[in-house]
Amino acid sequence: MTRLEKMIQFIQKEHVYIQTHNFPDPDAIACAFGLQNLLAHKGIDATICYKGKIDRYNTLKLIELLGIELVNLEDIEEQLCEDDEIILVDAQKGNSNIIDMTGMEIICIDHHPVSALSSRKENQMEYRYTDIRPEVGACATIIASYFFENQIFMDERIATALTYAIRSDTDKLSRGVSKLDLEMLYRMWEKCDGSIIRKLENAEIYFEDLAAYSKAIESIRVFDSISFACVGENCPEALIASVSDFMLAVVEVKFSVVYAIQKNGIKLSVRSEGGHDAGRIISRALKDIGNGGGHAAMAGGFIPLADTKNIEDILTVVQENILEEVKYA
């Protein structure tokens, strides 16, 4: 029995909700889109939903060009019931980047390591089935494998979405790539629309995004190849991550930390290419003041704040903690 067949056994409703993490990126959206089509093949209807705002050009263009339908949770909250069944993709229950929507999280498909919050007994017990593979570079790889393992037809739109997602989450195959990622890309390449992928990869920055890059460049501080930079206030999560990638391109930087002051706390994006485990380091550095986690090469964190009175003191503590964790990693 394949993983998809096992998963289907645990779905009891004719309709389910596929929930991505908040402010979904191409990987989350492609996963949800692919899974929606797989479930339709099995006679199960699914609605893709998310919390937050999608404001990155390439993500919006991906949705537009491929005709992917998503709904914001704010628009359907009144129709949700406690016994609705939810499948989480590219996220895990309990993490700071996903809201606890009304309903039961029965299945989780993800490629991120299980964090301390996600691994709590009460969270894991609520899943009927999980397929969590931290060794793969993109969650889209897992969804793609379901198509091939079950010999289910994959049309051009699905192949294009999943291919672009894998390339996006692995930074064009430059980080965290597994054999399965490469195999899925190879098997999907002739099925996808290469012109759409090139269009999405060649136009990723809005003119207004340059302000965030400028603030980061002005504020960057480097300590023994570890950089810290601020992109200002209320910066989109995807842009914070993009700036963190950008900072890692600096020759003197091997470990990049970029943060933004949000309405309810501090959002951090971490990148590493020097052998230090970004997920483990940020998780330990934010212990007792927030939460963080992710892969060895890319991770993130969040520190909730009731007010911003002591924000500089908190940032100093975070910096010291990260430097200490890197030192002894």
Q: Which CATH superfamily is domain 3-201 in?
A: inorganic pyrophosphatase (n-terminal core) (3.90.1640.10)
> What number does CATH give the domain 210-327?
3.10.310.40
DSSP 31-97: HHHHHHHHHHHTT-EEEEEESS----HHHHHHHHHHT---EEHHHHGGG--TT-EEEEES--TT-TT
pLDDT tens digits, one per residue of 121-179: 455 557 999 999 999 999 999 999 999 999 999 999 999 999 999 999 999 998 899 99
Res 118: pLDDT: 54
281, 270 contact by CB (below 8 A): yes
Residue 287 phi, psi (nearest 5): -55, 130
- The parts of the chain modelled with pLDDT lower than 70 are 116-125, 308, 329
In the chain, where are the structural domains located?
Answer: 3-201, 210-327
From residue 29, how far is each of 10, 88, 194 by CA, in Å?
23, 11, 18
pLDDT tens digits, one per residue of 200-223: 998 778 888 999 999 999 999 999
Res 215: pLDDT: 97
